[in-house]
Amino acid sequence: MYIRISEIDNTENKVKQINFSEIFEEFNKEVPVSANLKLEIIGSLIKISGQINAKLNLICDLCLKEFTKEFNIEVEEFFSQDSSFCSNTGEFEIKQDCFIEDLNGKDEINISDFVYQSVILHIPNKLVCDINCNGSEIVNKYIKTDFTDPRLEVFKNIKLEKE
Ligand SMILES: [Zn+2]
């Protein structure tokens, strides 16, 4: 889904509300990611804010079983139509953890990409299906195995010279 900046600009108060719903196969083949977003033009900036709801099919790091986790994400992000606003990295920090992304002269915003990236950023590094998950036998066996490599033992005896 793409939204042209002129579509926001042509509204009476330069605000456009959108209801987004799209299937991202990597997240969930059946349940679409939905979002309720507000697009606003503020000077040369475009502010996107709202909520994203996604049900992701994930793999548990402990038991390796598939599980579904629901994410409700609050977003607030700025895009700039004026490149001079942004540093050469294409981003400009207006306050801590709040960046403006340069549109690089584009006259539309890729909403699908915006929603996709927002969800990706919210997936935790460690995925666990349930706080009571005990893991699988195979994975546990791996974790408990001593991986000491006898070839590396020799390094224990090397004396390091102090600089
Ligand atoms: Zn698990």
CA of 124 to the centre of ligand 1 (A): 14
Residue 157 predicted with pLDDT over 70: no
CA of 113 to the centre of ligand 1 (A): 30
CA–centroid distance, 84 to ligand 1, in Å, is 48
Give the distance (Å) from ligand 1 centre to CA of residue 34. 26
CA of 153 to the centre of ligand 1 (A): 35
- Decide if pLDDT at 6 tops 60: yes
Q: What is the mean pLDDT of the chain?
A: 85
CA of 7 relative to ligand 1 center, distance in Å: 46
The mean pLDDT of 79-104, rounded to a whole number, is: 64
CA 39 to ligand 1 center in whole angstroms: 39
Cα 119 to averaged position of ligand 1 atoms, centre (Å): 21
User: Are 72 and 58 spatial neighbours (Cβ–Cβ below 8 Å)?
Assistant: no
Q: Which residues have CB under 8 Å from 13's CB, separation 6+?
A: none
- Could you tell me the distance, in angstroms and rounded to a whole number, from the CA of residue 33 to the centre of ligand 1? 24
pTM of the model: 0.76
The better pLDDT of the pair 89, 71 is held by 71
- The pLDDT of residue 11: 95
- pLDDT tens, residue by residue, 93-102: 555 555 678 8
Instruction: State the Cα–Cα distance between residues 123 and 79, nearest whole angstrom.
Output: 23
Start-to-end Cα distance in the chain: 59
